[in-house]
Structure 1
């Protein structure tokens, strides 16, 4: 009778002991992050001592050297650089633009070249403007209405979408493919409304591509501020003959060598099972890349430090990867996955932070139903920290190439309402990052990494069985 009673008490109480242990470890992680965090100091250096880290630039290499040195100071088991060839696009001297309503009567418009664009002619480009709401409008208008003109893409982000990344995704095609499509109808250039939910004077850059169009047939592409877009749209309604002028001096150079920065703690029990956490080290050049994605890099670095300093010894190998060239090529993510595959490395989990350093809300998880269910089952452990989002969805661009049936992918999801105020713009700077919010994000990531490491993932064979 006593044996049965003991077993009953043991079986009932064991999960509570386990949860209590997890609660203590997670609290220790948050306490350490909020009282002795390193992420904010690291970001201060990346942003204010190095600045914008355009792929292939001197600043990108400085960021590689700095983060490698900081990881070495953490006393990890291994730190190394992974070579990767990256594109080198340079902006040149600042762009200039104006709207001309009558000869000699002009209004300046904030503008920046899109990443990957060709330059305008040396004297700049001036032409009439045709406004469209998206690529689909080009076919409706036809070549006769477009030839010899500048196409003005003016579809705004949808303010009714609470998930601002969904609003962004619904407009990004006009920035990325707008020039390639407009050139088919004889356009001489394109200007694109910045992907930003508020009205301001900051133009937002971003990547674009020409596909297979020969270099001598490519047309220049630029982004204008949202206020500039409103001005042009209103003016064209009153004066359809208004002309737009812009000048940019950007160019594409030969690829150069750069690096992914990698550090790891070797697992004590399952060293061949790799868990990855990371962000991308490159940024655009207009600001200093604090939110996109300096925040994600320093949070990922701090994940390993927080686990080390709270005394947790991981069962599995924990690896931080600071990817190069996410913004205009994804070369770092692709190269990392290629090398991992060639070495037959077994990645079971990867977590990326590339949505800014704002208040963390939870995670978006790309996993099979069983692994999704397991992670959602830990929700109560995060509720004291106001983390509530555990939803199925995408993870991150850099870890995407690792996707296979045996890996769980996840992305940190901070509050997104202010992210696109800064995304790819001159005001993506250090003063717009809140220290406490950044540290909460690092602790949230470290807590999920801890739980995955402790309990593992559900193997594909078990799911199928």
Structure 2
């Protein structure tokens, strides 16, 4: 019975659209595609500033630049929210080779994982043990692992259409690999890059030692997919081969950084907050154009597009550029903690952190009534080929804002190429298509407009029922 009522409610909403909603969305998309700013902002962020690892000069410059650009938009408020972040530095370029016999070596492509310790100054060389998962590692035990380098070689599952699902299915070997290998006496860890494509690019990413004492921490690095296949093949031919790698990364003391926040204050419900955001930090191998420069500039452009389209929001709409998503999530946690401390009512939050590719729709973390309202809006997005509206996750930075009554959402672009670039040196501006990026900004703006107009509780929203 409840399900039938929800379906009827959704059908009633499908007939509630005035021509105004269609016209507003058309204006939003036209503004973004003919007068967008997101691509130009990304050009500066990527090519004039570059990588923005937490605690780095690049991150500091990105904070200053985005704050300045938001101030130019004539928002009601723009400010910096202080947050302490970790400072990890890569050091000199990593070097690695496979030694099949004394004096016979083959160079391979690796990069240190974020948060890893360095190898000894002269590097680390040891025999290698290959595993696909932690269960295989446990089965081998200390007698077969001690003194060796553990090579985690579980690839992303290629037959999964949702590539983030494939990523989630193997990322634990990167994040927890060193911690697990230490239990059995391993001296180092090499992890297959989280990449569906076969290439020579190693992909970095965060890893953890948890509370492991510093003197027990072992170095951890990613190896390219091509070289992971090579290493695996060579191990099958000769299990006594050795692997050498050298990295000089270092964890320094935490430093001061900032979330960047801009606001259009609501005309009717100023104490109801809707936020749009992406993370300003990036890894250091490329310039972070897809991860997450795209989300940053799209989120900035949402506020600009609302103003350019002549929309006066009822609720206060904020753009939040979060710091330190990649290796700590401290910006998202700090923003949520401050919102709770101030008693702010965040009714809606939208994150873009899946690259600047063609938008396909959104995933929503919300109750059934709010989701059925969203489903009723699908016809408005159909002319723009936006069809994906599903329940699911939202985003790491907005996640801490979740309550029983609000709506969290994540922009979902086409993901088939995303992991070709994710955390690698080819995450660069030239990999972003202007039109795709601008379509994403318009799609986010359209959803924000609808939630601002109709609210997040359609049952109690009289305007929605009347329309």
Distance 1:121 1:304 in 2: 50
Q: Secondary structure at the match of 1:223?
A: strand
Displacement of 1:459 in angstroms is 7.6
Distance 2:363 2:17 in 1: 25
The answer on whether the counterparts of 1:364 and 1:392 sit within 8 Å (CA) in structure 2 is yes
Displacement of 1:135 in angstroms is 1.5
Q: Secondary structure at the match of 2:157?
A: coil
Match of 2:198 in 1: 199
For residues 42-64 of structure 1, the C-alpha deviation after alignment (integer angstroms, 9 at most, x for no partner) is 00000000001000000000000
Matched, 1:446 2:445: yes
Match of 1:237 in 2: 236
Q: Which runs of 5 or more structure 1 residues have no equivalent in the other structure?
A: 1-12
Match of 2:408 in 1: 409
Distance 2:235 2:174 in 1: 21
The answer on whether the counterparts of 2:272 and 2:345 sit within 8 Å (CA) in structure 1 is yes
Q: Secondary structure at the match of 1:279?
A: strand
Distance 1:218 1:461, change over 3 A: farther
The answer on whether the counterparts of 1:405 and 1:460 sit within 8 Å (CA) in structure 2 is no
Match of 2:434 in 1: 435
Match of 1:423 in 2: 422
Matched, 1:105 2:107: no
Displacement of 1:296 in angstroms is 0.1
Pairs within 5 Å for 1:160-179? 160-179=159-178
Distance 2:300 2:134 in 1: 40
Displacement of 1:16 in angstroms is 6.2
Distance 1:307 1:206 in 2: 35
Match of 1:8 in 2: none
Matched, 1:398 2:397: yes
Pairs within 5 Å for 1:205-354? 205-354=204-353
Distance 1:264 1:215 in 2: 43
Q: Secondary structure at the match of 2:18?
A: helix
Distance 2:18 2:424 in 1: 44
Q: Which runs of 5 or more structure 2 residues have no equivalent in the other structure?
A: 1-11, 462-467
TM-score normalised by structure 1 residue count: 0.95
The answer on whether the counterparts of 1:147 and 1:186 sit within 8 Å (CA) in structure 2 is yes
Distance 1:139 1:79 in 2: 52
TM-score normalised by structure 2 residue count: 0.95
Displacement of 1:137 in angstroms is 1.1
Distance 1:144 1:382, change over 3 A: same
The answer on whether the counterparts of 1:42 and 1:298 sit within 8 Å (CA) in structure 2 is yes
Distance 1:300 1:86 in 2: 22
The answer on whether the counterparts of 1:53 and 1:63 sit within 8 Å (CA) in structure 2 is yes
Distance 1:137 1:259 in 2: 42
Match of 1:46 in 2: 45
The answer on whether the counterparts of 2:373 and 2:458 sit within 8 Å (CA) in structure 1 is no
Distance 1:405 1:248 in 2: 46
Displacement of 1:461 in angstroms is 8.7
The answer on whether the counterparts of 1:364 and 1:394 sit within 8 Å (CA) in structure 2 is yes
The answer on whether the counterparts of 1:127 and 1:245 sit within 8 Å (CA) in structure 2 is yes
Displacement of 1:136 in angstroms is 1.6
Distance 1:346 1:385, change over 3 A: same
Match of 2:158 in 1: 159
Distance 1:320 1:142, change over 3 A: same
Distance 1:316 1:216, change over 3 A: same
Q: Secondary structure at the match of 2:176?
A: helix
The answer on whether the counterparts of 2:369 and 2:459 sit within 8 Å (CA) in structure 1 is no
Distance 2:386 2:14 in 1: 22
Q: Secondary structure at the match of 1:244?
A: strand
Matched, 1:119 2:118: yes
Distance 2:99 2:169 in 1: 31
For residues 207-245 of structure 1, the C-alpha deviation after alignment (integer angstroms, 9 at most, x for no partner) is 000011100100000000000100000000001111000
The answer on whether the counterparts of 1:124 and 1:247 sit within 8 Å (CA) in structure 2 is yes
- When the two chains are superposed, the root-mean-square deviation of aligned CA atoms in Å is 1.4
Displacement of 1:306 in angstroms is 0.3
Distance 2:15 2:407 in 1: 26
Distance 1:121 1:88 in 2: 21
The answer on whether the counterparts of 1:260 and 1:323 sit within 8 Å (CA) in structure 2 is yes
The answer on whether the counterparts of 2:14 and 2:376 sit within 8 Å (CA) in structure 1 is no
Distance 2:56 2:356 in 1: 24
Distance 1:34 1:436 in 2: 7
Match of 1:71 in 2: 70
Distance 2:207 2:132 in 1: 18
Match of 2:19 in 1: 20
For residues 149-177 of structure 1, the C-alpha deviation after alignment (integer angstroms, 9 at most, x for no partner) is 00000000000100000000000100000
Distance 1:399 1:212, change over 3 A: same
